[in-house]
Amino acid sequence: MRVLLILNKVESKRTYREHILKAFKDQGWETRILYLSGDPSLSPHQRQGLKVDSLGFPVAKIKRFHGGVLKALYAYLKKYPCDIVWIHRYRLFYYLALIHLLNPRFRIVFHVVAGGIFRSPGRRWTFSLLRSRLSSLVVNSTALKREILGLYPGLRDKLTVIFNGVDLSRFSSGVSREKARERFGLEREGFLFGMAAAFRPEKNHLALLRSFREFKERGGRAGMALAGSGPLEGKARACAASWGLKEVVFLGALPYEEIPLFLRALDVFVHPSLKEGMPNAVLEAMAAGLPIIATDAEGVPDIFDTPRKIGYMIPRGSEEALTRAMEEIYGLSAEERREMGREARLRVEEAFSAQRQAQAFVELFASLVNRSSLRSSNP
């Protein structure tokens, strides 16, 4: 089996793809990673012993359709034939589908991890024309499956749901909560809500701050730690200051390696997002043994589809529901919250582990190649 993963640009940080690529390597599959832009020597995947290349295009050229990129991809696939091409971006699908018209020897697996990818009429039109070139469309939540089938019901046989996976070993630290709080300059004692997410509109930080203000006005005594950076961080900081929320601590963006330690410092993880695919931040908090409060954004209903009591799922956009959930979980005993956290970790183990996700991709890719081999041997 020869697998080619194509990405827009070199990723400096580790991602969920790492354990999937390792599973491919363990199968003895020849796996290559091709970046359209960037220095391949900076790729963390090269340290895994994988073959990594870059076409070396400037970032500006890969943001729009470019004939030079199409030509370079065609030449690369001719030089390095493969069985599966795994992509995550619509423009890459467009390039690969056009190449497939001339070179139909490979299978295209399009992995969609966020909603709205077919939001524009132009994309819907071109996808309708080229979707026959697709071997498999992978989504990470049932909400995305419904969204895509609503547009393209004929894709049902090519559509597969594979949930995101979390490396549970990252969240098994023996560090105490007090030591974790000390590392981030947080109060050693007291109740602490927290969130780790980029400060973007869809993450809804301002609603969280307003709900926390209301929680305080109703008598709640807790702190809040926010990890992340982004375009709305300054506005969030200004609002917290003007609303007198001295208990809110902004930690900025944290390195990948420090996220488990940050989660160890919290009592409850809060995620008021308006739009998702499958929120890794929520899964990581659960893997760390935290109860969660999360809106019913895409993917979250899949997480809560269990008899286990793992926290509170609330309607998107309802600040009153968010405040009430914070009050209710704050009013529980410490042991009740710990039990929720244990149940949350078990939920990840049973449905959202890195091993499960990797195995699902291995089985999918193998089935696509085997199915194609059977067709070619039975003309």
pLDDT tens-digit profile of 152-177?
999 999 999 999 999 999 998 789 99
**Contact predicate 290/341, CB 8 Å:** yes
Mean pLDDT of all residues in 210-235: 97
Q: Which of 319, 315, 317, 322 is nearest to 301 (CA)?
A: 315
Backbone angles phi, psi at 197, to 5 degrees: -170, 155
3-state secondary structure of 112: strand
**Contact predicate 312/325, CB 8 Å:** yes
Helix (H) or strand (E) holding 224: strand 223-227
Outline where the chain has alpha helix (H).
17-26, 59-62, 67-79, 90-102, 121-130, 142-151, 177-183, 205-217, 233-242, 259-264, 280-287, 300-303, 319-331, 334-351, 354-377
Q: Model confidence at 12, in pLDDT bands (50, 70, 90)?
A: low
Read out DSSP for 136-186? EEEESSHHHHHHHHHH-GGGGGGEEE----B-GGGG-----HHHHHHHTT-
Establish whether domains 2-165+355-377 and 168-352 are of one fold.
yes
For residue 345, CA distances in Å to 17, 235, 266, 287, 295 come to 21, 34, 15, 5, 19
3-state secondary structure of 311: strand
Sorted by where each begins, the domain ranges of the chain are 2-165+355-377, 168-352
Residue 340 amino acid letter: M
Q: Model confidence at 50, in pLDDT bands (50, 70, 90)?
A: confident
pLDDT digits (tens, 9 = 90+) for 331-344: 999 999 999 999 99
- For domain 2-165+355-377, give the fold: Rossmann fold (3.40.50)
Residue 40's pLDDT is what?
Answer: 87
The CA angle 39-52-97, to the nearest 5 degrees, is 100
Residue 260 amino acid letter: P
**Contact predicate 287/267, CB 8 Å:** no
Distance CA 311, CA 155 (A): 35
Mean pLDDT of all residues in 90-94: 95
3-state secondary structure of 30: strand
Average pLDDT, the chain: 93
Backbone angles phi, psi at 258, to 5 degrees: -95, -5
pLDDT digits (tens, 9 = 90+) for 348-376: 999 999 999 999 999 999 999 987 554 44
- The yes-or-no verdict on residue 377 having pLDDT over 70 is no
Backbone angles phi, psi at 136, to 5 degrees: -155, 140
Q: How many CA atoms lie within 13 A of 269 on its CB side?
A: 32
Distance CA 343, CA 286 (A): 8
Residue entry with tokens 């309708």: 128
Neighbours of 176 (CB within 10 A): 12
Close Cβ partners of 195 (under 8 Å, ≥ 6 residues apart)? 203, 205, 208, 224, 225, 226, 227, 228, 269, 270, 271, 272, 281
Residue 135 amino acid letter: S
pLDDT digits (tens, 9 = 90+) for 93-143: 999 999 999 999 999 999 999 888 888 899 999 999 999 999 999 999 999
Distance CA 26, CA 106 (A): 22
Calculated CA dihedral for residues 240, 246, 252, 255, nearest 10 degrees: -140
CATH architecture of the domain covering 168-352: 3-Layer(aba) Sandwich (3.40)
Residue 271 amino acid letter: H
